[in-house]
Amino acid sequence: QQQVKQSPQSLIVQKGGISIINCAYENTAFDYFPWYQQFPGKGPALLIAIRPDVSEKKEGRFTISFNKSAKQFSLHIMDSQPGDSATYFCAASNYGQNFVFGPGTRLSVLP
């Protein structure tokens, strides 16, 4: 019940395209859903996050869509750029604790 599933494992997108990464969770006690971006040799960096009382959150080219009834959330990267090539992790937490991470998606954006 603590698991967060993430797909796809890897994703190749052309420059300018839309990248979509999906996550699903089981534990309805989760109340916070962040996405992290990690470049090789670096620690994960917070990209964008959403709480379950909101169905969508947009920050620049990055959008989280959240479906509470389906217990799913997704990251959309619009106008994908080569600089977006990184590994993306979704996560879920409960009251600022017990962060559970998805296995990660390696995104490659082709120039």
Partner 1 sequence: KAGVTQTPRYLIKTRGQQVTLSCSPISGHRSVSWYQQTPGQGLQFLFEYFSETQRNKGNFPGRFSGRQFSNSRSEMNVSTLELGDSALYLCASSLAVKKGDTQYFGPGTRLTVL
Report the interface residues with partner 1, using CB under 8 A. 31-32, 34, 36, 42-46, 49, 51, 89, 93, 95-104
CB of 39 to partner 1, least distance (A): 11
Q: Residue 44 or residue 75: which is nearer to partner 1 going by CB?
A: 44
Per DSSP, what are the bridge partners of residue 90? 35
Rounded distance between C-alpha atoms, residue 14 and residue 100, angstroms:
30
Q: Which is nearer to partner 1, 53 or 111 (CB)?
A: 53
User: Considering the complex, what minimum distance in angstroms separates the CB of residue 6 from partner 1?
Assistant: 9
Q: How many CB atoms lie within 10 A of CB 33?
A: 23
CB-wise, 67 or 98, nearer to partner 1?
A: 98
Q: How far is the CB of 56 from partner 1 (least distance, A)?
A: 17
Comparison of 18 and 46: residue with beta carbon closer to partner 1? 46
Q: Is 46 exposed, middle or buried (0-12, 13-18, 19+ CB in 10 A)?
A: exposed
93 Cβ contact partners less than 8 Å away, ≥ 6 residues apart: 30, 31, 32, 33, 34, 99, 100
